[in-house]
Structures are given as structure tokens and as C-alpha cells.
């Protein structure tokens, strides 16, 4: 813990990637910044911790795979590579095993992916061709500031790309989603990506996530940082501290009275959490809007220690940085519908990663970490270990024999290590077309808490979940303009 001043320019509550992005943007603008973090360690959803499961083996407790951190304008300006963060891009971005030893393999190379998909290869290539060509414009649009600069981002994308994206959303986000495919491998492979949106399938919001993440798989790739996600947090912290910022851990903010005096406050919290902290001091209509953000279905986490690689029936699956498990497109649509309806599926969607595939340093003494989470109903109290191991075993017979130990965190306990993830709602609110257009509420300024100088800077606000730092960046720029009269861009580059 570092001694902090009793008054300061800006207080940031929460040290997740958005909180740190906000804090270092403000610190680089010359402000005095204090970050208050409830947990004993900083980083929120971007922490790599020793969970005591095996000596020296460390685990990504939340995020592990980072296409958004490579692609986001904030991180491109911040330049992780220049700061020594080695984002290793696997040859296979993601894989999707099916029964009978078959699997869909999404290589970083579009051509290679299409070649492996046989009869559906051309349809796959056609689906992604325009968005691959226009990916920087697409990312600027998807991660853009919803109130300022949207017009410029739309104009930059241009009518042709926008029409191509709209046509693909209409196709993949509706019951027409099967029309371009003949076999079941390519649709299953796509649905694994759409499933990242945690919700009903098909839907426009899932199709949007699929198009963005699927495009990044064939452009920047789906990288895994050497040493784990904590390397990203360490780079953010080092920059913040180099610019005079202070982080105080074990410092939960429960009420506005817990806050030191400051000219501005930015909250890396959930929307209802922010409303609770300010209570009656927040205008009633804003408080009502933030309090009624509906939670989405949940994630339940499993951290594994493995004695060797997963014995996938199709060995190519073992070259993937990320593996999606849940069977065919129809099976996954059914299991996601179960999670939405509050039923525990017998065949839940599971995401798995073995970071040792890209980073041999993760293996210690012959033991390696395994990262997995399952989609379950909101607040589900069931230990997810058996459902995750069973799902992997289905496509990798003998998997149980390489499991040395496993720690399950039920959805109902996800908030124990990050109070934003109440009931396992890791997206901080249901993802709908409406909420992805602007969240947590429709307003001229969605980052404003309705109190002068108070802003929401977490993934509860637009552009939403993921390790991209964009909410923090946008909210900090808003605070700089409103409270400090600073409108010039803040340079994020590493000083020589």
C-alpha cells in the first residue's frame, strides 16, 4: 500500500483494465490520480495469480486470450510490445471439436481455414472477406465512443462495408444463419465464436461479436501474453506509476463518504454498484436506469492443473490457443437457451485454453495450467468442475488422467474475487442489440453518472466487455474535457 494524498485531481475506483486505462490517461495529462481497489491485488479481470494449486503454476483468474487488446485503439496507442509484453499469436486461433473425432480449425490464415472446411470453405471465406479487408474501420466502429465521433467512424467505414456488415448480421443473427453452409463443421466453428456473447442464439448481438472476433482471428490473431494476462496489467501499472499515479489495494468503496476529496471520480464498477455508492446523491432517473440493468446469463470458472497436453481426438485441436466445446450449432443454441432460461444444460458451452501451447514457460515442473469456463444460469451455485471435465473428456478421451487438480468457482461465487461479476454476470448486464448500441443507458453522455465530475468507466458502459481499455479511455477523455478543460489528445506512447 502506498500513502495517498487526502485530496487529489482524480480518483478511480477499481483497477481493471478500464480503470487503469482511465487512470493512466489522466496521469499522463498531468493530473494527480489515486486508484482505489477493493481486492488485495490490482488488475480486476486481467490478473494472473498463484492459486496455490501447484508450486509455481499461475492462473489467469478471468481473461486469458486477447484479440481485443491487440486490436483496440487504446492498446495500439499504448503499444504493449514496446513495453515488453509478448503477445504470442497461435497458428490456430480457435478450434471446435465435434463427436466422431472431427473438428473445425480456424487458422490465423483465412485461406488455410477455408481449405480445411471442404465444401463450406468458400462460404467461410466469403463471410469474412469484406470485414478482414476493413477490420481497422470495423474496430474503430465497434469500440468507438458512442456519442462523440460515431459519425466520423461510420463515414470512415463507408457505405459499402456497412452494407456488407449489415447483410452478414441479418444472415448470421437470425434463423437464416444456416443458409450458406452445407456441412455441420463450419456452422459449429462460427457458433463457438458467437457464443462469447453469452446469450440466446442466433441473435444480432451474438452475430456482431462473432463477426468482430472471427475477423480478428484472421487478422491480428487471438494472442496469449507470455506469462499470462497479468503481463498486460503490469505494463499498465508501470506506466501509471511512472506518471505519478498511486494504486491502493484492499480499499473497497461502499459509499461516496468512503471517497477522498477529488475534482473527478471514475468508477470501474457495475452500473448498479455505482448507483448504490451514490444513493440519493444521484439524480433519481439516472439511479433508476443504472439499477435496472438486467444481468445476463453467467460464467462459472474452472482453473486446472494438468500433467500434460489434452489428448484431443483430433490432434490439430491441440494447436489452438482457444477451444470451444458444446457440439453442433443446434446443440449450442439449445444449451445457451437453457442458460438464458435459468436451466443448467446437460451440455453447457465451455471455453478452454492451454496457455502452454503458445508459451512453454507456463509449464512448471511438468505441470501446466488449464483455463476454462462454462456458461450457466445467472447465480447458479453448482460447482462447474465436473461439467467442464466431462465436456473436454467427450472430445479428448483420457483427459481425466491428465487432470492433477481442479478448482471450480460457481457463478454464485464469481463476485468473491471481483464484485463486478455478481451472480457470474461477467458481461455486466445482458448483451442485447439495444444495450450494445449504447450502455448502460441511453443518454447524451452514457459515461456520466448524472453528478458533475462522476463517470462510469467500466465494461458496464459502451463499448462493453473485453480487455480493450476503451471505456476507461473514453471516460477519462470526457473527464479531462468537462472538469479540466483539456480537449487535446493525450499521448500514450512510451517515452524514449
Residue 420 touching ligand FAD (CB under 6 A): yes
User: 426, 449, 480, 492: which one contacts ligand FAD (CB under 6 A)?
Assistant: 426
**Backbone CA torsion sign across 214, 220, 221, 226:** negative
8 Å CB contact between 478 and 447: yes
Q: Which of 24, 29, 44, 192 binds ligand FAD (CB under 6 A)?
A: 44
CB of 120 to ligand FAD, least distance (A): 27
Q: Could you say whether residue 458 binds ligand FAD (CB under 6 A)?
A: yes
Q: Cα(204)–Cα(220) distance, rounded to whole angstroms?
A: 24
User: Which H or E element spans position 96?
Assistant: strand 92-97
End-to-end Cα, the chain, rounded Å: 29
Select from 9, 11, 12, 19 the one that contacts ligand FAD (CB under 6 A): 19
Residue count (the chain): 496
CB of 309 to ligand FAD, least distance (A): 20
Minimum distance from residue 470 beta carbon to ligand FAD (Å): 10
Rounded CA-CA distance 493/496 in Å is 9
Alpha helices in 173-229 (DSSP H): 185-194, 204-217
Consecutive H or E run containing 107: strand 103-107
State which of residues 213, 467, 470, 475 lies at the interface with ligand FAD (CB under 6 A): 467
Q: Would you state the cell numbers that stand for residue 46, as one nine-digit string?
A: 486481467
CB of 417 to ligand FAD, least distance (A): 8
3-class secondary structure, 350 = strand
64 binds ligand FAD (CB under 6 A): yes
Told to check if 93 binds ligand FAD by CB under 6 A, we report no
Q: Which three cell numbers stand for residue 62?
A: 478471468
Select 29 or 300, whichever has its Cβ closest to ligand FAD: 300
Cβ-contact 109, 337 below 8 angstroms: no
Q: Which of 8, 15, 25, 462 binds ligand FAD (CB under 6 A)?
A: 15
- Exposed, middle or buried: residue 172 (CB in 10 Å: 0-12, 13-18, 19+)? buried
303 binds ligand FAD (CB under 6 A): no
- CB of 186 or CB of 234, closer to ligand FAD: 234
Taking Cα atoms as reference points, which of 372, 384, 378, 388 lies closest to residue 412?
A: 378
Looking at 4, 23, 58, 68, which residue binds ligand FAD (CB under 6 A)? 68
**Among 4, 10, 11, 13, which residue interacts with ligand FAD (rule: CB under 6 A)?**
13
423 lies in the site for ligand FAD, by CB under 6 A: no
Q: Which of 4, 17, 395, 425 binds ligand FAD (CB under 6 A)?
A: 17
Q: Which residues would be at the binding site for ligand FAD (CB under 6 A)?
A: 13-19, 36-39, 44-46, 62-66, 68, 252-253, 268-269, 273, 299, 301, 373, 418-421, 426, 458-459, 465-467
Amino acid at each position: 500500500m502506498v500513502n495517498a494524498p487526502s485530496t487529489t485531481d482524480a480518483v478511480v475506483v477499481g483497477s481493471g483494465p478500464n480503470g487503469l486505462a482511465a487512470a493512466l490517461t489522466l496521469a499522463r495529462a498531468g493530473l494527480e490520480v489515486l486508484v482505489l481497489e477493493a481486492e488485495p491485488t490490482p488488475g480486476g479481470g486481467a490478473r494472473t495469480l498463484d492459486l496455490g494449486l501447484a508450486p509455481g503454476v499461475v492462473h489467469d483468474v478471468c481473461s486469458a486470450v486477447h484479440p481485443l487488446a491487440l486490436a483496440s485503439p487504446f492498446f495500439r496507442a499504448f503499444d504493449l510490445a514496446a513495453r515488453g509484453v509478448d503477445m504470442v499469436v497461435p497458428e490456430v486461433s480457435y478450434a471446435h471439436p465435434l463427436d466422431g473425432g472431427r473438428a473445425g480449425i480456424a487458422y490465423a490464415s483465412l485461406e488455410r481455414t477455408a481449405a480445411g472446411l471442404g465444401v463450406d470453405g468458400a462460404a467461410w471465406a466469403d463471410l469474412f472477406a469484406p470485414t478482414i479487408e476493413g477490420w481497422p474501420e470495423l474496430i474503430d466502429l465497434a469500440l468507438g465512443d458512442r456519442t462523440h465521433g460515431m459519425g466520423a467512424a461510420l463515414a470512415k467505414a463507408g457505405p459499402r462495408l456497412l452494407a456488407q456488415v449489415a447483410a452478414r448480421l441479418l444472415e448470421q443473427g437470425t434463423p437464416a444463419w444456416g443458409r450458406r453452409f452445407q456441412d455441420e463443421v463450419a456452422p459449429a466453428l462460427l457458433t463457438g465464436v458467437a457464443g462469447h456473447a453469452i446469450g440466446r442464439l442466433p441473435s444480432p448481438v451474438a452475430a456482431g461479436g462473432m463477426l468482430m472476433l472471427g475477423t480478428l482471428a484472421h487478422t491480428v490473431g487471438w494472442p496469449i501474453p507470455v506469462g499470462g494476462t497479468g503481463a498486460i496489467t503490469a505494463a499498465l501499472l508501470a506506466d501509471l506509476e511512472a506518471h505519478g499515479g498511486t494504486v491502493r489495494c484492499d480499499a473497497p468503496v461502499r459509499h461516496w463518504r468512503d471517497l477522498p476529496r477529488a475534482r473527478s471520480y471514475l468508477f470501474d464498477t457495475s452500473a448498479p454498484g455505482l448507483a448504490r455508492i451514490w444513493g440519493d446523491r444521484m439524480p433519481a432517473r439516472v439511479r433508476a436506469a443504472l439499477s435496472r440493468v438486467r444481468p445476463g446469463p453467467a460464467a462459472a470458472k474452472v482453473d486446472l492443473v494438468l500433467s500434460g497436453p489434452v489428448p484431443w481426438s483430433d490432434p490439430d485441436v491441440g494447436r489452438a490457443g482457444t477451444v470451444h466445446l458444446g457440439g453442433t450449432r443446434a446443440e449450442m443454441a439449445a444449451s445457451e437457451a437453457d442458460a438464458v432460461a435459468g436451466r443448467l444444460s446437460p451440455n453447457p458451452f465451455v471455453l478452454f485454453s492451454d496457455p502452454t501451447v503458445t508459451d512453454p514457460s507456463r509449464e512448471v515442473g511438468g505441470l501446466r495450467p488449464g483455463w476454462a469456463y462454462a456458461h450457466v444460469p445467472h447465480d447458479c451455485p453448482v460447482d462447474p468442475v465436473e461439467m467442464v471435465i466431462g465436456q473436454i473428456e467427450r472430445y479428448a478421451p483420457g483427459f481425466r488422467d491428465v487432470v492433477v487438480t481442479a478448482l471450480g468457482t460457481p457463478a454464485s461465487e464469481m463476485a468473491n474475487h471481483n464484485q463486478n461479476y455478481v451472480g457470474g454476470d461477467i458481461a455486466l448486464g445482458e448483451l442485447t442489440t439495444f444495450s450494445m448500441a449504447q450502455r448502460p443507458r441511453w443518454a447524451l453522455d452514457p459515461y456520466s453518472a448524472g453528478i458533475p465530475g462522476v463517470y462510469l468507466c467500466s465494461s458496464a458502459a459502451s463499448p462493453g466487455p473485453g480487455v480493450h481499455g476503451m471505456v476507461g479511455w473514453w471516460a477519462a477523455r470526457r473527464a479531462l474535457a468537462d472538469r479540466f478543460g483539456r480537449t487535446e489528445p493525450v499521448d500514450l506512447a512510451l517515452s524514449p
